[in-house]
Amino acid sequence: MRPARHFAAWKGSELKKICQDSLPFAPWLHQAARRLPGIQPLALEDWLVHDEVFAEQMALRDRLLSDRRSDVFAVEDRALPAAEELLALILSRIGGGYTRHGQAVTRPDGVTIDLKADHPLVTAARLVQEDLCLLQQPEGAQEHVLTGAVLCFPASWTLAEKIGRPLTAIHTPVQPYTQQMAARVQRLFDAIRPDRPLWRANALFYHDPTLYQPRREKDPRPWPTGEAAYMRSERQSLLRLPGTQAVVFSIHTWVVPWERLTQEQRDGLDTHRVETAGQGA
Instruction: List pLDDT tens digits, range 217-260.
Output: 888 666 656 778 999 999 999 999 999 999 999 999 999 999 99
User: What sign for the dihedral angle of Cα 43, 151, 7, 261?
Assistant: negative
Q: Which pLDDT score is estimated for 8?
A: 40
The rounded distance, in Å, linking the Cα atoms of 146 and 162 is 7
Measured distance CA(28)–CA(26) in Å, rounded: 6
| Distance, CA of 219 to CA of 222 (rounded, Å) | 9
Are residues 73 and 121 in contact, defined by beta-carbon separation less than 8 angstroms? yes
Top-confidence residue, 163 or 281: 163
First to last CA, the chain: 30
pTM exceeds 0.95 for this model: no
- Using one digit for the tens of pLDDT, what is the confidence trace for 1-20? 233 443 343 344 445 699 99
List the one residue out of 134, 104, 95 whose CA is nearest residue 246.
Answer: 134
